[in-house]
Structure 1
Amino acid sequence: MTKMKLQSLRQTWEARVADFRASGQSGAAWCTAKGLKPHQLSYWLHKFPPHESLPAASPHTDWVSFEWEHAPSETTTPLLIRVGQAVIEVMPGFNPTLLTDVVRALSS
């Protein structure tokens, strides 16, 4: 096949693929209506992925300013640590050194 014929075939199928995607029909129904074979459509669908037919995105990006303040929750749930029969409630802002000493003392 000559380069001109290949280019013509590609343009024909590019238009057909666009028509199929716009139709909303199943591949089989669209092919039956157009007198084409489903495997041909399948082949050309892979040649023309959907993103190729979309316009190129603008390289310009608009940024939006956003400020967020994390307010401490009024209802904090404690972390419960069980060591043997003892249960320790650990709240935010706890002293890690003290917790370590308490757990060691309860474990011995």
Structure 2
Amino acid sequence: MKQTDLREQWEARINDYRASGLTAEKWCAENEVTTRQLWYWLRKFRDSKESSVRPPQWVPVNVHQPQENTESLLLVKVGAAVIEIRPGYNPVLLSDVVRTLQALC
């Protein structure tokens, strides 16, 4: 018997066993197979189903970028450098950066 034929035969047997509602021992006795064979094939089909699970797929995500309020944006140019200043800026830090840029120019 070919491997594919044996696999198909056991797939049918397992479906029959599951649909029967019988215990494994009773079903095996009625179908002239050992419980060891039944457990082997149950495990084999369970393992093959787990290995045939499709890999995860990427899901597209749309990220909404809030629009900037450019009306409150101030650009300061010192030499080739351009500094964007937004509401809530640190004036001491800005002063230090401007002084440093002036020293480099």
* TM interval, short-chain normalised: 0.3 to 0.5
Q: TM-score, normalised by structure 1?
A: 0.41
Q: Normalising to structure 2: TM-score of the pair?
A: 0.43
Structure with the largest fraction of helix: 2
